[in-house]
Amino acid sequence: MEAGSALDAAPLRGFKDFYQYASTTRIIAGRELLGSTGFEFQKEGARRVFVVTDEVIRGTGLVERVEAGVADGGLEVAGVFDQVPQDSSTDVCERCAAAAKEAGADSFLAVGGGSVMDTAKVADAVFTHGGGAAEQEGFFLMPREDDGMGRPLDIAPLACVPTTAGTGSEVSMAAVIKDPERKVKLEIADFPLFPRLAILDPETTRTLPPAIAAATGMDAMTHAIEGYVSTDWSPHQDARSLQALRMIRDNLERAVQNGEQDEEARGNMLIAANLAITIALGSVHAMSHPAGAQFGVPHGVANAIHLPHVVEHNAAGGSDIADRYRDIADVFDVSAPEVGPALAAYLTELIAGLGLPTRLSEVGVPESGIPALVEGAMGDGTTLLNPREMGEDEYTALYRRAL
Ligand SMILES: [Fe+2]
């Protein structure tokens, strides 16, 4: 078949009919940057900064150091919200927005992992535009000038200091939070959610527990792989995905096994996570979101469990899909006539070597939970971006294999 012909449901090569690409976050990366937080954030319009974090991060002393950096630049800390849970939700975002209003803040500074950063994004949108957190749901639906046809309206300046290397939320236009009433993960994506500033300093991940470094690192790995094979692929993202994979290959195990001593590996993983992130994902994320919403499986752990099964399934879906996985396998020096099983086996071994669970039954998911998980995966937006068309039967089989 001709590359990109009309008969090809999901052409994964050739010149695309359409794609768009944006990456508007200013990134500063390097050593000893926390003291410059205020100096840098001032350039993005911040004056009275509202800090969003969680109790664990606050307990490490990192927040105080960032606050000192804010003050050092002549900015004020208007308040600190440290009540973000591991798996944040709409009500937390609303409380956070109300607290920022109460404090008279004009900007948000997230210090934490994906849950903290996503909470800050949604809280900022609620803070700026009003309404409830669940109303923010959707892709490219945020308020725009000219009755919704013009430029998207800015939200208050947001800066992120990630304390894990994986989510990439600090440079992405997306946020995922739980709606506790509907027991689903809400996905929100639009240009204003790109943080204005991301500060990447390996000091922030120095004391990261190895299990978290492993799980979040596998989230970055999943973004790089899913982004590369997504029907919503683009040459811009391809370049990022492949470099992310090389950096993850060279740094993930080092960062997990000897992270506290290995500043270079930690710093490189922070950058790899930035390169890997995209909203063009696929069925690994479609399966992991309901596992998180319904059974509390941490996002990176769920991705690590599902990834090898989805790789093997997708790669069997046609030669153009297999070709894309072959590019990925090349990065890891995996070569075999059948790329799917070979790459899946490589990933499974890597994941086990990182000390992560490899089965859903190890993380509290019962067999009886599968039908609801399948329903969740079918309803997840990333299902539409998977290179192989997915249905209930396919998802049921994959969850069973992962059990
Ligand atoms: Fe993810």
**pLDDT tens digit sequence for 186-222:** 989 999 999 999 999 999 999 999 999 999 999 999 9
Q: Cα 178 to the chain's mean position, in Å?
A: 14
Q: Residue 83 in contact with residue 135, Cβ under 8 Å?
A: no
**Do strands 184-189 and 174-179 pair parallel, antiparallel, or not at all (unpaired)?**
antiparallel
Q: Is the pLDDT of residue 3 over 90?
A: no
Q: What is the DSSP string of 381-399?
A: GGGGGSSS---HHHHHHHH
CA dist., res. 81 & res. 96, Å (int):
7
CA dist., res. 135 & res. 129, Å (int):
11
- What lies within 8 Å, CB to CB, of 90 at 6+ separation is 122, 132, 133, 134, 177, 178, 179, 180, 186
Residue 288 CB-density burial (10 A; 0-12 exposed, 13-18 middle, 19+ buried): buried
Centre of ligand 1 to C-alpha 73, Å, is 33
Centre of ligand 1 to C-alpha 102, Å, is 32
Centre of ligand 1 to C-alpha 357, Å, is 17
Centre of ligand 1 to C-alpha 285, Å, is 6
Centre of ligand 1 to C-alpha 301, Å, is 10
**Which tokens belong to 313?**
């399934």
Centre of ligand 1 to C-alpha 219, Å, is 5
- Confidence band (pLDDT; 50, 70, 90) for 5? very low
Q: What is the pLDDT of residues 284-335, one digit of tens each?
A: 999 999 999 999 999 999 999 999 999 999 999 999 999 999 999 999 999 9
Q: Residue 142 in contact with residue 153, Cβ under 8 Å?
A: yes
Q: Identify the pLDDT of residue 9.
A: 53
CA dist., res. 119 & res. 132, Å (int):
13
Q: Is the pLDDT of residue 4 over 70?
A: no
Centre of ligand 1 to C-alpha 72, Å, is 34
Q: What is the pLDDT of residues 29-67, one digit of tens each?
A: 999 999 999 999 999 999 999 999 999 999 999 999 999
Centre of ligand 1 to C-alpha 284, Å, is 9
Q: Is the pLDDT of residue 169 over 80?
A: yes
Rg, Å, the chain Cα set: 20
